[in-house]
């Protein structure tokens, strides 16, 4: 149902053992705890994980962010992932946050949202950070947050729409499976308008329109512009999943339907990668037997 595959590389990428700790063998990771430390400003990119499990930020305040967890350990997709994390990417309006929470529950994974973490740590809304530090300052903070959460296994991470614009971020995104949520731009515009435009720093100009349909059209034009700029970057994701619904579903498919599409897409892609891995392997001793057509005896050496 609207599913396509974007990358020919293997989906399963495992970070080095020094970076990732399996949630099944580490209580801090399984609870989804995240710790940051910054010795200067709250938007500093020098955040690191404390070895003793503690951290300090900006004004010396201690902060801990907990990811959600689920007991659904028997989920087939979760087993197929082999503890790899899942990163949700896509334009505004694709529902990365809402879908991410449901997907985490379905997989029995922890959950992080990079925008929410930024707001918790900086004690500011995203649009306020944009206003004070500009987009470049916000992206620096976003990259620091991503570097932290990417070191965890068995988590679903919902990211900001522009996270793909920083090339170095892909180094961290490739620690797991990247899923791009896509949809008809008009549908996305309706969803964004329904959620509210005021908190989105890239949609300031849309507030000048008083008529609802005029606002939606303005939002759609911005989404189309963003897609032109970022489409090739989103194409680097391992999997693309549509959020479109039936003709009578103006706001797209239900969250449950989208989560089901993601799980099916991941399963399919992992099966394909398994076949590719077998094809890449060279033949081993015993894989091929040569027999005499007359006697049926095995021939060990061909002259």
pLDDT (tens digit, 9 = 90+) per residue, 149-181? 999 999 999 999 999 999 999 999 999 999 999
Q: Residue 135 is encoded by which pair of tokens? A: 């987009």
User: What pLDDT is attached to residue 36?
Assistant: 42
Residue carrying the six token digits 């180094």: 171
More confident residue, 164 or 131: 164
CA angle 17, 167, 175 (to 5 degrees): 20
213 falls in which pLDDT band (50, 70, 90)? confident
What's the pTM value of the predicted model, to 2 decimals? 0.70
Q: Which residues partner with 57 through β-bridges? A: 61
Q: What is the pLDDT of residues 274-286, one digit of tens each?
A: 765 665 665 566 5
User: What pLDDT is attached to residue 272?
Assistant: 83
Once rounded to an integer, what is the mean pLDDT over residues 217-229? Answer: 92
99 with 255: CB under 8 angstroms? Answer: yes
User: What pLDDT is attached to residue 211?
Assistant: 80
Once rounded to an integer, what is the mean pLDDT over residues 135-149? Answer: 93
Q: Tell me how far apart the alpha carbons of residues 303 and 296 are, in angstroms, rounded to a whole number.
A: 18
**Closest by alpha carbon to 35, among 139, 129, 115, 120?**
120
Percent of the chain with pLDDT over 70: 63
Whether 124 shows a pLDDT value over 80: the answer reads: yes
Percent of the chain with pLDDT over 90: 46
Q: Tell me how far apart the alpha carbons of residues 108 and 105 are, in angstroms, rounded to a whole number.
A: 5
86 with 176: CB under 8 angstroms? Answer: yes
User: What pLDDT is attached to residue 82?
Assistant: 86
Cβ-based neighbour number of residue 136 at 10 Å: 9
Q: Residue 126 is encoded by which pair of tokens? A: 């995203």
User: What pLDDT is attached to residue 71?
Assistant: 39
> Which letter does DSSP use for residue 40 in this model?
S
195 falls in which pLDDT band (50, 70, 90)? confident
Whether 29 shows a pLDDT value over 50: the answer reads: no
Q: Which contacts (CB < 8 Å, 24+ apart) does range 74-79 have?
A: 75/106, 75/107, 75/108, 75/263, 76/267, 77/106, 77/107, 77/263, 77/266, 77/267, 78/107, 78/108, 78/109, 78/154
């Amino acid at each position: 149902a609207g599913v396509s595959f974007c990358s020919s590389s293997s989906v399963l990428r495992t970070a080095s053992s020094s970076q990732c700790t399996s949630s099944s063998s580490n209580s801090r990771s399984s609870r989804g705890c995240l710790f940051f430390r910054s010795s200067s400003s709250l938007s500093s990119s020098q955040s690191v994980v404390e070895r003793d499990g503690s951290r300090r930020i900006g004004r010396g305040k201690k902060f801990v962010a907990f990811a959600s967890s689920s007991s659904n350990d028997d989920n087939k997709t979760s087993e197929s992932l082999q503890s790899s994390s899942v990163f949700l990417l896509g334009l505004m309006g694709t529902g990365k946050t809402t879908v991410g929470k449901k997907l985490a529950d379905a997989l029995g994974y922890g959950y992080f949202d990079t925008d929410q973490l930024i707001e918790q740590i900086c004690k500011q809304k995203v649009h306020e950070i944009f206003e004070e530090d500009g987009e470049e300052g916000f992206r620096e903070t976003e990259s620091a947050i991503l570097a932290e959460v990417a070191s965890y296994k068995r988590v679903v991470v919902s990211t900001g729409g522009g996270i793909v614009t920083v090339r170095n971020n892909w180094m961290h995104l490739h620690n797991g499976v990247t899923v791009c949520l896509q949809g008809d731009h008009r549908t996305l515009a309706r969803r964004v308008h329904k959620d509210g435009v005021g908190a989105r720093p890239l949609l300031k100009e849309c507030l000048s329109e008083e008529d609802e349909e005029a606002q939606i059209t303005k939002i759609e034009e911005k989404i189309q512009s963003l897609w032109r700029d970022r489409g090739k970057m989103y194409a680097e994701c391992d999997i693309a999943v549509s959020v479109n619904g039936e003709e009578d579903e103006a706001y797209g498919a239900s969250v449950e339907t989208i989560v089901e599409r993601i799980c099916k897409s991941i399963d399919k892609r992992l099966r394909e990668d398994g076949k590719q891995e077998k094809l890449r392997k060279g033949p081993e001793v015993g894989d091929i037997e040569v027999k005499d057509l007359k006697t049926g005896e095995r021939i060990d050496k061909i002259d």
